[in-house]
């Protein structure tokens, strides 16, 4: 009896995890956009309620969620470009793994400084200035 392939349940290894992450980040971005449209629509209905809701966004937890949103959008965009290359480049399927590694590297190179600048004010507020 042949042995089951090692790896994850999905057996697609990094390619399948990339597929899952692309779907998850797409859903997360969709829900953010839905919430954003809903809270922005409050401006016309009740400006005071809108102001109160926007004030609740000014806390460290929401700042961390904003970093997560930027990470989701960045990953989704970079992975989308990789998918386009796989679909429209004749050799795309042959180099899909290398493109994934390049995508992850570019993601880290862009996300680390972005997270630093986005979280800098929160950490200075929480822990005081030097």
13-122 is classed in which CATH architecture? Up-down Bundle (1.20)
Residue 7: the pLDDT is 54
Q: How far is CA 3 from CA 9, 11, 17, 78, in A?
A: 14, 13, 22, 35
Residue pLDDT tens, the chain, 130 long: 555 555 545 566 777 888 899 999 999 999 999 999 998 998 898 999 999 988 988 888 899 999 999 999 999 999 999 999 988 988 888 888 899 999 999 999 999 999 999 999 888 877 776 5
CA distance 117 to 6: 40
Residue 116: the pLDDT is 94
Domain positions in the chain are 13-122
């Amino acid at each position: 009896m042949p042995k089951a392939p090692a790896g994850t349940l999905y057996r697609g290894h990094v390619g399948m995890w990339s597929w899952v992450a692309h779907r998850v980040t797409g859903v997360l971005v969709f829900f953010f956009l839905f919430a954003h449209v809903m809270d922005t629509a409050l401006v016309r209905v009740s400006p005071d309620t809108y102001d109160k809701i926007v004030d609740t966004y000014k806390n460290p937890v929401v700042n961390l969620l904003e970093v997560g949103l930027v990470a989701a959008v960045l990953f989704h965009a970079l992975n989308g470009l990789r998918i386009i290359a796989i679909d429209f480049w004749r050799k795309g399927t042959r180099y899909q793994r290398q493109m994934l590694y390049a995508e992850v590297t570019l993601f880290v190179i862009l996300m680390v400084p972005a997270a630093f600048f986005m979280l800098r004010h929160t950490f200075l507020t929480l822990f005081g200035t030097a």
